[in-house]
Amino acid sequence: MLDPSEMPARLAAFLAAEVPGAGDVTVHSYEVMTGGYSRLLARAEVSWRAGGDEQRRTFVLRGDPPPERTLIFTDRHTEFEVVRAMAANGVLTPDAHHFDDGGRLATPTILLDFSPATSLLVDLAGRGAPVELTGPLAEAAASFHRIPLTELPARLERPASAEAYLADRIDEWRRTAATHVEALPILQYVAAWLDAHRPAPVPLSLIHGDFQSSNLMVTADDRIVVLDWELAQIGDPREDLGYFKAVAQAAPPDLIGLDEAAFCARYNELMGFTDEQVNPAVIAYFLILGVIGTVRRLLEAGAAFSRGENTSLNAVFNARNVMFGQSMWLQFSEQLEQAFAAAKEA
């Protein structure tokens, strides 16, 4: 994928070897796609003959950029297995059909189905009443949060317990502060605050890790398609809800916030959770906690840029996102102090 001029021939040879009985493999078009934040993306129209019949497919290729242009480092093989598990369990996501470790397509690459659905951001720009997507958003999140852990790839690390996972996630704020190139006392403050206000636990599940509007699409019948599973891991599912809300503060609308009571009620119904486990205050708690994985990676990328190890301007641009996040963490922690005090009195 690093040289688009070479890719049609590479892709044709790859599919000829990967697809059983495929002959006369033809790549009719190969186009680099925009919108890939951390990965290279391309769309390919391909056909081949198998058993006398012509098969025609549209693939999206998702691969790694060169190391010096990489914003965050994740594993395509793990992502491939996660996507296969999602499709096998009925999650609405483009299925992954092939994986290359980089030997034939020049960089680790996944071949996925092309989805005809509309980008959620595009849909929202032309929709008069986005609140009608609040329910479908809850259903999309629950569709992968409720998959049994036994159905998930063995490559995903299993935390010892929900309580141990939450403690480690909070401590990630402290570790990030300790390893950053400059002092950021706010990270230590956030860790202490999160430690003092832990919510009621829920069972571990798969979490998407980057659950936000730019990674979602909408079908013609208002179902939500979930994309980009590179940050998927096993953890607290409420992190995805808080993360969605966090990103929506900078890129509205906040579909959860449009009718938070309805969202929580639908999500709890699907997950079998109580109102104590998921409610607006708990989601706000995870708005803070759930961003640490992304914050850590963005800080690492900025540090690498300052050392000359990374040439991606995204590393510099995202320093502003971290600064915006700092004001948001303080704002929500102050608001939650009042909500938690009122809950104790009640």
**Are 56 and 37 a contacting pair, CB within 8 Å?**
no
Question: For domain 118-345, which CATH number applies: 3.90.1180.10, 2.60.40.10, 3.90.1280.20, 3.90.1200.10?
Answer: 3.90.1200.10
The secondary element (H helix, E strand) that includes residue 281 is: helix 280-289
Share of the chain above pLDDT 70, in %: 96
Read off the pLDDT of residues 175-211 as tens digits, 9 standing for 90 and up: 888 888 788 899 999 999 999 999 999 999 999 999 9
8-state DSSP, 65:
P
**Are 322 and 295 a contacting pair, CB within 8 Å?**
yes
pLDDT band at 275 (very low <50, low <70, confident <90, very high): very high
Listed residue (224, 233, 196, 226) closest to 211, CA to CA? 226
Read off the pLDDT of residues 5-15 as tens digits, 9 standing for 90 and up: 999 999 999 99
In the chain, CATH 3.90.1200.10 sits at: 118-345
Question: Who has greater pLDDT, 279 or 345?
Answer: 279
Asked whether the CA dihedral 234, 235, 238, 244 is positive or negative, the reply is: negative
pLDDT at residue number 100: 97
pLDDT at residue number 235: 97
Global pTM exceeds 0.85: yes
User: Helix (H, G, I), strand (E, B), or coil: what is residue 111?
Assistant: strand
Distance CA 98, CA 18 (A): 8
pLDDT at residue number 290: 84
Neighbours of 327 (CB within 10 A): 11
pLDDT band at 315 (very low <50, low <70, confident <90, very high): low
Distance CA 303, CA 260 (A): 37
Read off the pLDDT of residues 126-171 as tens digits, 9 standing for 90 and up: 888 799 999 999 999 999 999 999 999 999 999 999 999 999 999 9
- For residue 216, pLDDT over 90 is answered with yes
User: Cβ neighbours of residue 199 under 8 Å, at least 6 residues apart?
Assistant: 238, 277, 282, 285
Listed residue (28, 106, 13) closest to 66, CA to CA? 106
Q: Which CATH fold topology does 7-113 show?
A: Phosphorylase Kinase; domain 1 (3.30.200)
pLDDT at residue number 248: 93
